[in-house]
Chains A and B, each alone.
Chain A
Amino acid sequence: MKITLKVWRQANKDAKGSMKTYRLDDVSEDMSFLEMLDMLNEDLTTKGGEPVAFDSDCREGICGMCGVVIKGSAHGRYESPIATTTCQLHMRYFADGAVIEVEPWRAGAFPVVKDLVVDRSAFDRIIQAGGFISANTGSAPEAHSTPAPKHLADRAFDNACCIGCGACVAACPNGSGMLFTAAKITHLANLPQGQPERHSRVKAMVAAHDGVGFGGCQNVGECAAVCPKKVPLESIAQLNRDLFASLFKSV
């Protein structure tokens, strides 16, 4: 396949960036999108240019390290028939001769580090605010002492599978991190072990979310549409219910 790439190049966080055009003539359908970018970088390097910086690690859709906007959609969601991360998107979904724009996540809370790489440490700060269960090592009771109803454990799982990639933020017109926050709230709120801190958690995490520069949620729903792990939009409703309930608790 022949591909034309228009890639965002930005030297560092303070530099002004712009789109640059590159051509690749020998792309195979079996390549993943990132393998195609590897090919571009090998080509740039041998020709004396500077390779495009982009993040990836596991390349199997689970670590959440990769993520770019492809032809206007986060992870190229609208190029793929199924939910996907950038690393799992394959070139077979693009037509020969395609022109593909590649840009970094754009959101106030995710400053660009270089080219397609952004700083997502704001997510870690939301977790620090309360995205955990306080259980020191060694203090745990026998695992079977508290059964957890299967349907609730399953719902917890459907949210715990969030990989923290940030596609939800990139897709949101307000740059909101509410789906990410809601996924953690819903994961922990559906388990018996998560109950003691349920109300303090939601308050603290939402406050941290707003504090680190994410925008507010206006229920656009684009976040869930691009989520590679299909975290449901209803989780935001759960967050709002818990947040409302927490107002009446002295936590």
Chain B
Amino acid sequence: MAVTKKSKPSTYFSLGADIHDTKAPAGPIDKKWQARQLQAKLVNPANRRKLTVIIVGTGLAGAAAGATLGEAGYNVHSFCYQDSPRRAHSIAAQGGINAAKNYRNDNDSVHRLFYDTVKGGDYRARETNVYRLAEISAGIIDQCVAQGVPFAREYGGLLDTRSFGGVQVQRTFYARGQTGQQLLIGAYQALERQVAAGTVTMHSRHDMMEVIVHNGKARGIVTRDLISGKIEAWYADAVVLASGGYGNVFFLSTNAMGSNVTAAWRAHRKGAYMANPCYTQIHPTCIPVQGDHQSKLTLMSESLRNDGRIWVPKDPADAEKDPRQIPEEDRDYYLERIYPSFGNLVPRDIASRQAKYMCDDGRGVGPLISEVTQEGVSQQRRRGVYLDFADAIARLGKAAVEKLYGNLFDMYAQITGEDPYATPMRIYPAVHYVMGGLWVDYDLMSSIPGLYVAGEANFSDHGANRLGASALMQGLGDGYFVLPNTINDYLADGPFEKIDDATPAAVEALEAAKARVDRLLAVDGTRTVDSFHREVGAIMWEYCGMERTEEGLQIAIEKIRALREEFWTNVKVPGTGVDFNQALERAGRVIDFIDLAELMCIDALNRRESCGGHFRRESQTEDGEALRHDDEFAYVAAWEYAGDGEAPILHMEPLNYEAIELKQRSYK
């Protein structure tokens, strides 16, 4: 369908030419991937070891890609900031991984998984990429089982599956509440096997600081060795970024302490477009904030929504009552009431926003939290709703509930000091995942030739909202099956001309990295790095969180700009650059978050519609649901960096739906 361009350049950005994916072949959607695999140029196995690929990140996407490219015989250099590749934040995923296996005989199919993902993404994803993801999903499970991933099994020895938020089939494979851990350990072991085989060289505790772009092609990276502080360049024929998501821009999120945007942001500054940065997923089932000292939020897998029932007291006066003393008729099971056919299993964005509304309405539970509203009013609100297992325990027995969710219940008890078997849990939404990320084409190549982006770091498959259990599928899909079949098309033209530390592009990148470290240390102000991180996080949560407005976003942009000023004049980074210096690591990440935050707000400001995780107060239906404007906004917003202090440039990629009809989402 045609997009009429209503996005006018403003003082915040300027408008560039449209962009398009040029790699997905023409033809029916179910033949495209096969056709692309046939078309892609191949690299002779004997030539592969002469080709070097750098992979930044060892999460599901990076470890899977590293192992697979290593097996294929390429010379792989793999980087992560943790002390071991096994610790990438994919490890924290709990709930499960989707695959269109139809083991349940419940009418599941590739097409249904494709349809659910596009619909779940509120029709803001690129159809071709999503179809391919659904197509390769079944092979991911086969691969993981072959590696020894201990998925949950039934007594007959076959794999068990369950249903997960937003869908009506049982296609989610899981490993107790630790699916991400088991999948990652599988990929990590495959990666270590290649380290032993000599095809992969692992560089742990290395922070990527710059991309080296020579003659228009990505040819390497600059890293800082986190132990010695040594800044060093690495060269390759292609670079893959699999550096995860940037949810930590909100300070409080379910991401790891070190999760960052730096790798992606540095690439963005070198010419990689950043797509849909404002699409953030706020997960409905997290443990609520307890106090000011909190460093992160903890997710409770949304598989809990299969058996737990969500409610708040009908009367705000009951907020402090023992929930067990509140009779049925005084409880509002609001999701079951508003969405009778999906009930507690509505998609994440809907579940999150409804929880916010209940608490805005004064019916939240738990401790009072001080906050400042978008209108600048200081207030105290309870930010929590109940997730109640009393019915499930009565129906299935405590032992069965313990078997299904035991580790989650333990985690809850450990953090809150309350016993969830006896009293309902309290939950509240928290930032969890970003659908936005670097723009890539069908081959997963960014707008910089030779720079590929995989996993959560790209924007590829989830549109404006991601369905549960789809990120693990995408990360492994990208790493095991997509990249290894597309990157050869590019590498077939290599090896490229040799470059080294004297090549101007490398000199420039090395100097930029060194200058940045010096600049961060030189400010020597009075405020800690963390205090800046908390402040940018608070701005983003209030103005660019679950509900966004024209006015609020403009205020946010002003606040962010002022914060950046203050950062560069008043941050205090103790220690030196030639040492293990964690404050310095964080300082680099925080300033990139501040820069990203501004772009996120500009993107959110431009998108004057509500879609998926992006809810604009001005754009809702009469009953308060997200209202899309397909005539104006059925496009991917791909942002080009235009220089420090310059307005970014918006490139639009129109979204064409051929296999699926655009519909207003409804879960009623």
Residues of A near any B CB (own CB < 8 A): 12, 28, 30-32, 34-35, 38-39, 41-42, 44-46, 48-51, 53, 55-65, 82, 84, 88, 90, 92, 113-114, 117, 119-121, 123-124, 127-129, 131-144, 146-150, 153, 156-157, 160-161, 163-164, 187-188, 191, 193-194
Q: Main secondary structure on chain A at its contact with chain B?
A: loop
Q: Give the complex CA separation of A16 and B408 in angstroms.
A: 42
**Given the complex, which residues of A lie within 8 Å of B92, measured CB to CB?**
58, 60, 62-63
Contact B526 A46 (CB under 8 A): yes
Q: Give the residue among B414, B417, B484 with the most A Cβ atoms within 10 A.
A: B414
Interface residues of B in 132-154 (CB under 8 A from A): 139, 141-143, 145-148, 150-154
* Nearest CB of chain B from residue A226's CB, rounded to whole Å: 16
Q: Closest A-chain residue to B84, C-beta based?
A: A124
Kindly identify which residue among A41, A62, A124, A146 contacts B192, using a CB–CB cutoff of 8 Å. A124
* B285 CB within 8 Å of chain A: no
The reply to whether A123 and B84 contact each other, CB–CB distance below 8 Å, is yes
Q: What 5 pairs between A and B have smallest CB-CB spacing?
A: A147-B157, A140-B146, A132-B189, A135-B146, A140-B142
Contact B190 A38 (CB under 8 A): no
Within 8 A of A (CB), among B28-77: 64, 67-68, 71
The answer on a CB contact under 8 Å between A150 and B157 is yes
Contact A59 to B296, CB < 8 A, known contacts A147-B158, A164-B86: yes
- A128–B196 CA distance with the chains assembled, in angstroms: 5
B295:A38 contact, CB within 8 angstroms = yes
A156 touches B148 (CB 8 A): yes
CB atoms of A57 and B146 under 8 A apart: no
Contact with A along B407-432 (1 / 0, CB 8 A): 00011001101000000000000000
A142 and B189 contact, Cβ closer than 8 Å, known pairs A63-B256, A135-B147, A161-B181: no
Q: Verify B530–A42 contact, CB threshold 8 A.
A: yes
Task: Decide if B150 touches A62 in the complex (CB within 8 Å).
Answer: no
Q: B120-128, B488-496, B577-585, B628-636: which lies at the A interface?
A: B577-585
A64 x B86 contact (CB < 8 A): yes
Residues in B lying within 8 Å of A, measured CB to CB: 64, 67-68, 71, 82-87, 89, 91-92, 101, 103, 139, 141-143, 145-148, 150-159, 175-176, 178, 181-182, 185, 188-190, 192-193, 195-196, 202, 204, 227, 256-258, 290-291, 293-296, 298-299, 410-411, 414-415, 417, 480-481, 484, 526, 528, 530-531, 572, 574-575, 579-580, 582-583
Contacts of B154 in A (CB 8 A): 150
Also in contact, A150 and B71, with CB within 8 A (given A119-B83, A120-B83, A133-B148) = no
The reply to whether B146 and A193 form a contact with Cβ atoms under 8 Å apart is: yes
> Is the Cβ of B582 less than 8 Å from the Cβ of A53?
yes
Task: Please indicate the chain A residues that have their CB under 8 angstroms from the CB of B195 in the complex.
Answer: 124, 128
List B contacts of A92 (CB < 8 A): 417
Contact of A137 among B143, B145, B526 (CB under 8 A): B143
Known: A42-B528, A62-B91. A121 touches B84 (CB 8 A): yes
* Cα(A234)–Cα(B640), bound, Å: 57
Whether B414 pairs with A46 at a CB distance below 8 angstroms is no
Decide if A157 touches B176 in the complex (CB within 8 Å).
Answer: yes
A157 touches B150 (CB 8 A): yes
Contact between A143 and B153 (Cβ–Cβ < 8 Å)?
A: no
- Pairs across A and B, CB under 8 Å, 15 listed: A42-B531, A45-B583, A48-B574, A50-B574, A51-B574, A57-B87, A58-B257, A63-B89, A113-B580, A128-B192, A132-B193, A137-B67, A139-B146, A140-B142, A161-B181
Q: A45 with B83: in contact, given A143-B145, A148-B153, A150-B155 (CB under 8 Å)?
A: no
- Distance between Cα atoms of A84 and B410 in the complex (Å): 10
Instruction: Specify which chain A residues have a CB less than 8 angstroms from the CB of B89 in the assembled complex.
Output: 57-58, 63
Q: B575 — nearest CB in chain A belongs to which residue?
A: A50
Known: A144-B158, A161-B176. 4 other contacts (CB 8 A): A58-B256, A88-B411, A137-B143, A187-B148
**B579 contact set on A, CB distance < 8 A:** 12, 114
Set of chain B residues within 8 Å of A117, measured between Cβ atoms: 580
- Shortest CB distance B89–A (Å): 6
Q: Do A149 and B146 have beta carbons less than 8 Å apart?
A: no
Chain B residue numbers with a CB within 8 Å of A42 are: 528, 530-531
Contact yes or no, A144 B139, CB < 8 A:
no
Q: Determine the distance from Cα of A92 to Cα of B257 in the docked complex, in whole angstroms.
A: 22
User: Smallest Cβ distance from A175 to chain B, in angstroms?
Assistant: 18
Whether A132 pairs with B147 at a CB distance below 8 angstroms is yes
Complex-state Cα separation, A88 to B415, whole angstroms: 7
